[in-house]
Structure formats: C-alpha cells, structure tokens
Chains A and B, each alone.
Chain A
Amino acid sequence: MGERDGIPISLEELNKLKEIAERARRKVIRMLFYDQTIHVGSSLSSIEILTTLFYRYVKDGKDPINRDWFILSKGHAAPALYAIMSERGLVSDDDLWKIQDISGMLQGHPETFIPGVDMSTGSLGQGLSFGIGVAQGIKMRGGSGRVYVVMGDGEQDEGQIWEAMTHAVARKLDNLIAFVEINGFQLDDSTGSVKPKEFLPDVWRSVGWKVLNCDGHDFISLISTIDEAIKAKAPVVIFANTVRGKGFPVIENTKKQRSSPDDARKYLLNA
C-alpha cells in the first residue's frame, strides 16, 4: 500500500491495472474485426471499473455465500466483461474472436453458461433486483460475500430501478455495492435529451443509499471510492463518471456504439 501520499495502492499494482485495462481495451476494439455489431462504446466506458473490481475486489470461489458476485446489469457491455475474463484466463482469445458467432461460446449479452458470469442479463433494469436477492441470501446464511452491480445511466429510466432502490434500503443490505456509470448517452441520444438524469444522486441519497462519486477511468479514484463503500453500513451506490467509447477516438464521447474494422486496425497499429 502506498502510504506516503495517501494513495492506497503501489505504483507497481497501479501499472499492472493500467496494462490489463489497456490490453482489454485493445481486445474489445479488436473484436470489431470479427463482429461489427458489438457495443464497443458502452464496453470501453466500463473497462477500468471491471478491471478494478476483478483484479482488486471480487473474491472468487465456489461457495455461493462466501464469495463475491458480479452482475453486469448493463449487459450490452459484455465485450468488456469477456475481455477482462480472457485476461483472467477464464476464456481464450479464440473465444473472444468468436463473439456472437453461432459456433462461439460468448453471446451478445452475458449468459450464466459462460464461465465467470453470475447473472444472465441483457434486459435493462433487472441486475440490481437480482443483486438484492443474492445479498439477502448471503445475509440469511451468515456468509461473507458481497454483491457488485454495474448499471448504466440510460438504464436508470427503468421503473424497476426505483422498486429495487427502495427495496435494498428496506433490507439494510450493506453487502451490496451498485455502480451507475454516467457516460451521458443512451441508445438513441444523449441522456440529457431523452430524460433528465442530474437528479439521480439526490434520489438515491433521499431513499437511504450512501452515494459516492468517482472518476470511472481513474484507478486511484475507483479504489479509494470502493474502499469507502466497503466500510459503509448501508447499501452504496457509486456514480462513476465515464466516457462512452473511452480511448477509441472515432467514437469517443458520442452515442456511437460501433465502428469499422478499418478504424479498429488503424487504432491498434498506432496506439
């Protein structure tokens, strides 16, 4: 731990996380060679969050109550999850290049038959409710597991989020940490032009969640925020500011999810 300047991570570990994230980012972009319909923009916005969680927090194991659970509620960011899983050795690079192919294992959205996937998602607004069920189950059995749920900002339009938000507070689930990625875009347009989102942290706070904010691409910000979340005695939501298409200039900070194999090739050659 880097105690000298209050940064709770060594330079070595930080560099390792950066390298993993960068490799995962390149893998997501490389997937464009093989399938141009994957959601690259949303995936790139989640890379650092997933890297941080899987390489520093999510405790593996077979025992469902003494391990951690990870739920990618914004299931369209599956390529990011798969890229991190390939880094962890759970799926092969060959699997990655067969994403969405009829002969491949990796589906367009996460499925529980894929190694390392805890919930089949793809229909927005459901991950938090499932996470509440798991967190409650762990509590009832006296387990030590924690549940991490990653959602998008557009996803917050779903009414079920409201149902789940109030439910987690009613159950006092302090083993539940939710992320809302604020990348400013949903499928059709910017989030601001579809439905206002600015009030969201106030709503979550008002109903009883501990609300934290961080830079979703900055490891130090992510780590210090998650460390604080773990200590909280209430369900915690972390609003993570991210950039859609982060690091891939042709779509960065636009509503575009996709790009051409040519753009991907240029990026991978030059970056």
Chain B
Amino acid sequence: MMQGNIYSMRDTFGKLLVEMGEKLKDIVVITADVGDSSRASYFKEKFPDRYFNVGISEQDMIDFAAGLSATGFKPVVVDFAMFLMRAWEQIRNAVARMNLDVKFVVTHSGYSDSGDGSSHQCLEDISLMRVLPNMKVIIPADPADIKRSFPVIMEELRGPLYYRVGREYSPSITDGLEYDFKLGKAYVLKEGDDVTIMGAGVVLWDALRAAEELEKKGISASVINLLSIKPIDEQTIEYYARKTGRIVTIEEHSIYGGIGSAVSEVVVKRYPVPMRFVGATGFGRSARSQRDLLDFYGINYKSIISSVMELLK
C-alpha cells in the first residue's frame, strides 16, 4: 500500500473553511498569530472582515470567541493543538461551561509538527478535551474524512467541538469509501474475525497496513475508524468486541486518557475483552518527518502486529 502524500491535512481544512464561509455568513475565524501555518489565513483572503488574529494571546482568544458566539456568530478558533491547551481553563470555564457554539480546530496535533520538538507536539489534548462537559471531540483520518465531516459539523452541530487536524502528513485511508459523517458513529474500514484494530487520525494507515500483514499470517483483522471520540460509538465497539474478542487501539496521543482509554471505558462496561494500547508513552523529540517520530515511538503497524500476536498467544 502506498502512503500517498497527495493532500495535506491543513490545506484541505483551510480550503474547506473558505467554502463554509461562503455558505454560512455567521462564521468568523479567530486565530492566535498562526493563521498562515494553520491555513486559517485562506479565510482572511476571502473574508477579511470576519477574520481575527488576536495576536499571541490564546487565553484572550477563547473568551473573545465566547463573546462573539454570545452575539450570534459561529466562531471557529484555529490554533496549534499545543498552544490551545494553554487556554484549557478558559475553554472549560467559558465555552464548555456556558455551552457556547465555538468550534476549535487544531492543526499541528500529535507529532505532526515534527521539527519543532517536544514543546510543539501535542499528545495530551484528546484526554484534556474529552473530560470537558458539553465538548465533542472529532478526529478525521485523512483529507477525505475532513471533507466528509467538517461541513456537517459547521452546518448541523451546535455547541463546543474539538476538531483535531494534523499538518502535512496525510496518507490515504478513507479515499473512495462511501459513508457520511454522523456524530457518534464509527466506520468500518475493513472486516475481519480474529481481532479488531480501532483508532482515529492518520495512524489508521498503520492499522490498515497491519491488517494486510496479518492477513499474510492467516489472521483476519477488522479495522474501525472511530472518528467521533466523544460521543463515542458504544454499539459498534461492543459489536466488534463480541465479534472478534480482542481489541488493539492506536492513537497519535498518550495512551493515558486518550482513544484507548475511551474505548476501554466502553469495553469494560458492555463486553470486557483483552485489549492492547498502541500510542505515545513519552515525550516527543525533533525529527525531519512525522513518520520518523511515529516509527521512533513505536506508533506504527509493527507495534500493532506485535500487540495482536500477544493477544492471540
């Protein structure tokens, strides 16, 4: 399978944001001086009056967005994942607490800002966001998934929502698949009987690759794109727990409190099965590419395969 770096995650998002801006006149875009790097600036070119760079002021940005939302606008806050976390308390105490219609779109999530080192790599955000009341958490797998989900989010979903986009790295995962995004719904990328690999984001490429390799060993794996981490698709998770009896999760995020944790919360409640968690267990360091970091930290198909073999022992 080719990794196929055809579109970048942030470019896809930036272009789509402009399309949504044409359609929905109440959308305003707010960023903390990372408009160019996040591609929020595409929106500025088209709608300068609805675009705000608040400067390097993340905390102010959140309450400013909350205030705009209180007067009927639909703010899209665009920032690097890590630096939005600086204003987590503002997100909690203003936006989530008042259940305001503010969408948070973060680029440079996970290891995607590979060159800038550990200060810029965000491996804690899923955990921090999913604990917030009223907050929804969505993680598209690739550009096709962004195109499927982002318009629905802007047009149909009210209230605070965290949307996690990477940077350039975007291997093709869901291209050509026919499904519509629905909040709280997971999608089957591949059917199999012996084990289920679940996750969200660009690392699903590794899930599919692992399934291919396992097939060669005579092991058939289901692969699930969770996409909606909160709310999470409990029914689908239970169905595959029952069907395959084993689950491996993969995430470009700390294994503490992230996607694996979210899945295991469902599994222990509805149908306990053995699980393994592939994800970050330490801090990031600099690298020339996101792929190098994923391999360095063992967040890849090889780790999935060894986790599956462990479960099958």
Interface residues of A (CB under 8 A from B): 64-65, 69, 112, 118-120, 122-123, 125-138, 140-141, 143, 159-160, 163-164, 166-167, 170
Chain B 60-76, CB-CB to A under 8 Å as 1, else 0, gives: 11111111111111000
CB <8 Å contact, B59 and A163: yes
Would B59 and A160 count as touching, CB distance under 8 A? yes
In the bound assembly, the distance between CA atoms of A163 and B63 in angstroms comes to: 11
- Cα(A136)–Cα(B72), bound, Å: 11
Cβ-based interface call for B219 (8 A):
no
State A129–B102 Cα separation when bound (angstroms).
15
Q: Is B289 an interface residue (CB 8 A)?
A: no
A119-B98, A122-B93, A167-B54 known; A133 and B67 CB under 8 Å? yes
Residues of B within 8 A of A131 (CB): 67
Contacts of B61 in A (CB 8 A): 129
Given contacts A119-B98, A137-B68, contact A130 B63 (CB under 8 A): yes
Identify the interface centre among A64, A112, A127, A134: most chain B CB within 10 Å of its CB: A134
The answer to whether A138 and B60 touch (CB under 8 A), given A120-B94, A126-B93, A130-B94, is no
The 6 residue pairs across chains A and B that have the minimum distance between CB atoms: A133-B67, A137-B71, A129-B63, A163-B60, A163-B57, A134-B67
Would you call A120 and B59 a contact (CB within 8 A)?
no
Q: Do A123 and B89 have beta carbons less than 8 Å apart? A: yes
Best-surrounded residue of A118, A127, A136 (most CB of chain B within 10 A): A136
Q: Specify the chain B residue showing the minimal Cβ separation from A171.
A: B52
Docked-complex contact B72 and A141, CB < 8 angstroms = yes
The reply on B55 being an interface residue by CB < 8 A is yes
Taking CB atoms, residues of chain B closer than 8 Å to A134 are 67-68, 70-71
Contact B70 A129 (CB under 8 A): no
For B73, the closest partner residue in chain A by CB is A137
- The secondary structure that dominates the A interface is helix
A140 to B62, CA, bound (A): 18
- Chain A residues whose CB sits within 8 angstroms of the CB of B158 once the complex forms: none
Per-position binary interface string of chain B over residues 62-105, scored 1 when its CB falls under 8 Å from any chain A CB and 0 otherwise: 11111111111100000000000000011001100110000000
Residue of A with least CB distance to B59 = A160
Q: Is the CB of B59 within 8 A of A133?
A: no
11 additional A-B pairs beyond A131-B67, A133-B64, A140-B71, beta carbons within 8 Å, are A122-B93, A123-B90, A125-B59, A129-B59, A129-B62, A129-B66, A130-B67, A130-B94, A137-B70, A159-B59, A160-B60
Question: In the complex, what's the smallest C-beta–C-beta distance from A97 to chain B, in angstroms?
Answer: 26
Q: Is B310 an interface residue (CB 8 A)?
A: no
Residues of A within 8 A of B64 (CB): 129-130, 132-133, 136, 164, 167
**B65 neighbours in A (Cβ, 8 Å):** 133
Chain B residues in 8 Å Cβ range of A170 = 55
Contact B94 A167 (CB under 8 A): no
Partner of A137, one of B63, B67, B90: B67
The residues of B that contact A125 with a CB separation of less than 8 Å are 59
Complex CA gap A129/B63 in Å reads 5
Interface flag for B49 (CB, 8 Å) = yes
